[in-house]
Amino acid sequence: GEINDIGDVRKMHPDILANALQWFRDYKVPDGKPRNTFAFNGEFKNAEFAEQIIQKGHEQWEQLIKDGHEGISCSNRTLANSRDYAPAFEVSGIKEADAALP
């Protein structure tokens, strides 16, 4: 069968989610560390929710690259239309002419 969403996982592998959650929660306990805690009280979210989170993060990244932010370097060599675009040699501080092979 095909797995496309958390409901499919529950149907095809009924115990895997509870077992995975328990393992990630408790794996450090034998070393005397506290149990891990999880967002959403450990509730598994569906594919639509995950896609919305990914889309929101992408939009925030696009805004950061477009407008920049004080204290965050957005220098890059791949987004020519972005505010902080810099050709490869400018980013590293080496002039292109100085980097030419003899």
Q: List average pLDDT for each run of 10 residues in the chain, which is 102 residues long.
A: 94 96 98 98 96 97 88 86 76 56 57
Q: In the block, which residue shows the tokens 């690259």?
A: 65
Q: Do 82 and 57 lie in a common domain? A: yes
| Residue-number span of the structural domain to which 30 is assigned | 1-45
Residue 76 sits at φ, ψ, to 5 deg, of: -155, 160
CB 76 within 8 A of CB 82: yes
Given 45, 60, 75, the domain boundary residue is 45
pLDDT at 19: 98
72 & 86 share domain: yes
Predicted local confidence at residue 30, as pLDDT: 97
- Range 89-95, long-range pairs (CB < 8 A, 24+ positions): none
pLDDT for position 9: 97
What pLDDT was estimated at residue 37?
Answer: 98
Q: Which phi and psi (to 5°) does residue 80 adopt?
A: -60, -25
Determine the pLDDT at residue 1.
74
Q: What is the pLDDT of residue 85?
A: 85
- Boundary-marking domain end, from 27, 45, 63: 45
